Amino acid sequence: MLNVQLDRLDGIIEAMRVEKKTVLAGTRHLSNLGLTPSPMNSADDDCAAQVMYLLPSEQAAQTFSKTIPSVVAGKTGRHNFTQWDQVLMHEGAHHPALNPYALPENQGLRLDYSDDLGKRSLDILNRTVMVAMNPAHSDTDIQDMIHNIDAAARVALENASLDDIELRKAAPVDLQKFDSVN
């Protein structure tokens, strides 16, 4: 069964890349409001699972993600040490022999991290929203997503009221993909 799915992988990734490019092109005009795509070093090799936008403030990112299906990158439980159980509990591997916290070579090294470590990186993660791509999205689904991103940007960055915008049908975020969405 896995081999059959692997044969489909290139098509799935290509569909998500096309979707991501379409969404980025359709929301490019929102940079004047402060919704800017997160920098990407290798767009041609990106699996395109998410479109990520950097907002000017953590509050704006939270408002955006409450308006449409999206997730704040710093609140996924995966993208930083402050929410990563393996780091916090010193259990860096499933097998004890591979746990870097228990390896004799690492004894005497720093094992705990201060809350302000990586403060600038944490700030960026808490201002970044992720909007999921899906290879099953139709052209209409993609246009609805672009419309909704525009509406969420206006709520988050122009203080538009939810009563003043129209949101189109959108699937909710699949929370199982994230350890703990706050």
pLDDT digits (tens, 9 = 90+) for 55-103: 999 999 999 999 999 999 988 876 677 777 777 778 777 788 888 888 8
How confident is the model at residue 94, as a pLDDT? Answer: 78
What is the arithmetic mean of pLDDT over 166-171?
87
H-helix or E-strand spanning residue 72: strand 71-72
What is the arithmetic mean of pLDDT over 16-44?
94
How confident is the model at residue 174, as a pLDDT? Answer: 72
Q: Is the pLDDT of residue 182 over 50?
A: no
Q: What percent of the chain is modeled with pLDDT above 90?
A: 58
33 against 182, higher pLDDT = 33
pLDDT band at residue 178 using 50, 70 and 90 as cut-offs: low
Are the C-beta atoms of 151 and 166 separated by less than 8 Å? yes
What pTM, to 2 d.p., does this model score? 0.83
Q: What percent of the chain is modeled with pLDDT above 70?
A: 95
How confident is the model at residue 35, as a pLDDT? Answer: 97
Q: Is the pLDDT of residue 146 over 90?
A: yes
How confident is the model at residue 50, as a pLDDT? Answer: 94
Q: Report helix angle 58-67 to 119-126, nearest 10.
A: 30
What is the arithmetic mean of pLDDT over 160-175?
85
pLDDT band at residue 42 using 50, 70 and 90 as cut-offs: confident
H helix runs in 68-177, sequence order:
85-88, 119-126, 139-158
How confident is the model at residue 180, as a pLDDT? Answer: 46
